[in-house]
Amino acid sequence: MADVKALCDRVVLILDGQGHYDGPISNFEKLLGKDKFVSVTFNQAPNRSDALWEEFSPAWTDDYMQVELRIPENLFQETASKIITEYSVADFSTDKLPIERVMQTILSNPKLLKPQGRYAEK
Tell me the pLDDT tens digit for each residue of 68-122. Answer: 998 988 999 999 999 999 999 999 998 766 777 788 888 888 777 777 655 444 4
Per-residue CA distances from 64 to 29, 30, 67 (Å): 30, 30, 7
Question: Measured in Å, how far apart are the chain's first and last C-alpha atoms?
Answer: 31
Q: Classify residue 28 as left (phi > 0), alpha (psi -120 to 50) or beta.
A: alpha
Please say if the pLDDT value at position 2 is more than 90.
no
Residue type, 47: N
Domains of the chain: residue spans and CATH? 2-31+99-117 (no CATH), 36-96 (3.30.70)
Counting every residue written for the chain, the total comes to: 122
Could you tell me what percentage of the chain is helix, strand and coil, using 3-state DSSP and rounding each to the nearest 5? Answer: 35, 30, 35
In one letter, which amino acid is 120? Answer: A
pLDDT above 70 covers a percentage of the chain that reads: 91
Q: Strand pairing partners for 69? A: 38
